[in-house]
Structure 1
């Protein structure tokens, strides 16, 4: 029995899951993705110095998930670029964000109320890509659960997993920013979503795909709108992870630090309590402040 039968949602999930993503929702996805590219240090200078490299970075931000999934499945990594409409739309967004006169387009789409709408659109596309990725992998490997999870995860967070390669195009090498080592909320959520869709695809989760798409989309949209509106990088999944991870994987980092200090001197003083640190500013805020200061100096 479907788990949502008691909610009596009727045809809403089915209608929602059949909404076409192109061009409206894909447009929102491209706008937010290329906005995040512009927030990266040196991205604006790169667009003036080497527009081709900047365009390639923008295409990776928009289509990196497809490229990485095709590589893993043994298909051509440039196959998605045969979709001329998507490439032209993403290219137009890249040009307007970086080269529009007086930065008008960037100012409009980065205005917070407008940006939140595009963020919601991007999360709708993300969840659909996870579901399609799991279904695509199931078509190739009917019983390959790990492959289905991996492809769904890659489809949901491809550019984050390819961030080090994208940095090389901008002339930057920061291996310590590896997304697998320091997962952001979208990357973690994409992994959990891929697991859920894999269980549903394998008939281990008693819920229809349309209902799962609807529920997971509502979760992702709500979480990302809240995080973007509050300029926070905290994960809504952190409380649950803090409870489950010590049970599944042993002591947490705080306990390890305590045991490490105790091992250094069993009769020594107890470790000092650290004063609470203020919440760090997001990369978005820091880069925006830097650009404003440079503009004031130029004036």
Structure 2
């Protein structure tokens, strides 16, 4: 039984992402670009700019990981097959007659299949980033985490830079500030695979890849079916935030309450003094009259 399970997970870890899983990744990325306001007008007015933006959406994680490792950021252009494949997906998405690609993508089963296959590629990108960083820094586990995180979810950061160049960047959409669910789950995966790679986690890589991918696909499909954007880590983040950062808030609220009490006592004492002085004056006047 164990040998059959190992063979299954090992075969899964050796699955090639080209071409079907890569097609799903490019399709989801380009469709996300097309749904942005004004993207279709840009494609008609300036196809080269639209194509370059689509390539950033498709290969942004690889570009950012190259920048972190001081490698040529345009190295992704050397893979001619993937560039042609992504360019084909971009072309038929924006310029297909009768918009047939978007109409086919509008069906929910197609979206679920494409999104699930894209999450599979996320696992492969994280593992590739951690392994690639370890070839430069064997004991630099922080570097491995950063590069794995960048390769798995760095596309949004690169596209934010592209929006900054075009003048359409908004600070509230910055990925580093809001940390969307893909960024969080990719960071978690990068930490786990880094610990496994550095022998701090006693589990085989193919088993870990299988379990992590199942978690990604199941969570993504569940979020799409329920139409919710709430992160599955929301409750854990709330508990952890209260444990680590809630104590200081409690102290600050207690300090404010003490200040209010002290100010209230101070005003009470100051108001009591004039009443005492007034009563003394009344007594003095009364004694003078009696005299």
Structure 1 residue aligned with 2:207, among 207, 211, 230? 211
Determine which structure has the larger helix proportion and give its number: 2
Partner of 1:136: 132
8 Å CA contact 1:163, 1:178 repeated in 2: no
C-alpha distance in 2 between matches for 1:227 and 1:124: 16
Q: CA deviation at 1:120?
A: 0.7
Structure 2 residue aligned with 1:159, among 148, 155, 158? 155
User: Helix, strand or coil for the counterpart of 2:201?
Assistant: coil
User: Helix, strand or coil for the counterpart of 1:33?
Assistant: helix
1:1-299 counterparts in 2 under 5 A? Answer: 9-168=5-164, 170-250=166-246, 256=249, 263=256
Q: CA deviation at 1:196?
A: 0.2
Q: CA deviation at 1:7?
A: 11
| Cα 1:240–1:214 shift into 2, 3 Å | same
C-alpha distance in 1 between matches for 2:165 and 2:193: 33
Q: What RMSD over aligned residues (CA atoms) do the two structures have, in Å? A: 2.4
Structure 2 gap segments, 5+ residues each: 262-291
Q: TM-score, normalization: structure 1?
A: 0.81
| Cα 1:230–1:258 shift into 2, 3 Å | farther
- Select the structure of larger CA radius of gyration: 2
C-alpha distance in 2 between matches for 1:261 and 1:33: 49
Structure 1 gap segments, 5+ residues each: 269-299
Aligned pairs, number: 261
Partner of 1:288: none
| Cα 1:257–1:105 shift into 2, 3 Å | farther
User: Helix, strand or coil for the counterpart of 1:9?
Assistant: helix
User: Helix, strand or coil for the counterpart of 2:175?
Assistant: coil
8 Å CA contact 1:160, 1:187 repeated in 2: no
User: Helix, strand or coil for the counterpart of 1:187?
Assistant: helix
C-alpha distance in 2 between matches for 1:209 and 1:53: 40
